[in-house]
Structure 1
């Protein structure tokens, strides 16, 4: 199925011979109308948070791998929901965070079917795209990250920013509430640890730790440094003030340990250099905060308390949202690792130089910056 050619669906006429044939044709009529509406909605990226091309690619990959999404007929010969309808139902639940029974009246989706669409869709996304879009950075990626972060934040050797966020668990079992509840949250929560770069790409995501833990406890359980421990991490060094360093570092807040892989701001800066470093570090560390904000804004299911009772389903939904977030960045051409050197120079280096020139010359050149960002 190409981007510009969609199959034409003919709406069947209602039959008046018998009640069974009438109910069958009426169901097909509703399914056809809903399917045509959903295909029209895929042209708008604001509704599905992605382009029509990417949406159809995901539907095609899922249908080829998971037979559950394929349309089939029941014993009476009535056709079930198509693959586009099932994927759309799951995407709408992720994007809007609505209840599963919201799609009963308009699309004839029962509550059970809507939940199954969401669970199977998240499993399919994690199975098909998790290895590519949740991978650790390679030597090529690290080189691009060094170049972009040094041009934008003036931090040579910076891989990304690390932080944690919480997802509330509304239907947490009573036996686990003491383990997952913390005083600063209304509901029990589950923690997501992530590393994000300036382009808001998630290079690391670890989800599932109880909400009563802090960031250090999550770090000790996550797989962030597994490759370093096994000696398989990419070695791409950098030089600062004549000193050679073998590995990069992450920007973190004050709770993390004073390790060489973390660059933290001074708690009480006194000298002028310490104040400048604290200001730059706190400004650059906003990358992961912006990534969390965009993730929750794009997928409202994370912003609202989770209604699933199974923790595994909650984890699949979180990983699916992170993977889809990275897929959209790549599809839009905003990912650092998928850009050429010329594009990186245009997006990250030139706007910084232009703003520096504007600060010195007091000239209004905002229009040029907008053109360069496009």
Structure 2
């Protein structure tokens, strides 16, 4: 990308040009369904700031919290987001390559190095007995998870998956379900507003 166009890439432009959801769109991501308040959601989500769009895969706090459950959810979401940022800081401290050489690398090379560092970190956690989950090799071995050959079907599936990722109704339902779930964890919460 030419240097003069870098200034036009804010968070939203970067998101729209990012390969972040490519594995979901191409149906190559490992399944990660979860259930909240008796609703099943097909894939995970990222915690984001208020500038990001209302996608199924992006969850942010409420900009105006009108009741205690929403205030509590917004506080929990902000706290969890800070935890993720701190974890990334730990990765940067452990693997100095993320700090020092990133300025001169291509985006693809940085992505591959980042994935490698995350894998190494997870391997270290697993060896130390702190792993949160295990990788399911069986998923990779199933025939339905292999690449498909029909181009029209691939394009149709990617468009359909893109609509799923950007579904405003599912986003709103997920955020409400998460709000209710967090509220029910400790119902005695009262905001200080």
TM-score bin, normalised by smaller chain: 0.5 to 0.7
Structure 1's 328 and 263: CA in aligned 2 closer, same or farther, altered over 3 A? same
Matches of 2:47 and 2:102, distance apart in 1:
29
State whether structure 2 residue 35 is matched by structure 1 residue 238.
Answer: yes
Aligned twin of 2:162: none
Residue 133 of structure 2 aligns to a residue whose secondary structure is helix
Aligned twin of 2:68: 272
Deviations 1:78-106 (A, max 9, x none): xxxxxxxxxxxxxxxxxxxxxxxxxxxxx
Structure 1's 322 and 178: CA in aligned 2 closer, same or farther, altered over 3 A? farther
Q: What do you get for the CA RMSD once the two structures are aligned? A: 3.4
- What is the number of equivalent residue pairs in this alignment? 133
Residue 265 of structure 1 aligns to a residue whose secondary structure is coil
Aligned twin of 2:15: 219
Matches of 1:239 and 1:318, distance apart in 2:
30
Shift of 1:230: 4.0
Residue 256 of structure 1 aligns to a residue whose secondary structure is coil
Shift of 1:317: 4.4
Matches of 1:278 and 1:179, distance apart in 2:
34
Shift of 1:313: 8.9
Structure 1's 256 and 302: CA in aligned 2 closer, same or farther, altered over 3 A? same
Point out which structure has higher relative CO (alpha carbons under 8 A, 6+ apart).
Answer: 2
Deviations 1:269-325 (A, max 9, x none): 2322221111111111223202211111112232236475x6379535444433333
Structure 1's 239 and 302: CA in aligned 2 closer, same or farther, altered over 3 A? closer
Aligned twin of 2:125: 329
Aligned twin of 2:180: none
Aligned twin of 1:311: 106
Residue 245 of structure 1 aligns to a residue whose secondary structure is strand
Structure 1's 246 and 311: CA in aligned 2 closer, same or farther, altered over 3 A? closer
TM-score by length of 1: 0.30
Matches of 2:77 and 2:11, distance apart in 1:
18
Structure 1's 218 and 328: CA in aligned 2 closer, same or farther, altered over 3 A? farther
Aligned twin of 1:139: none
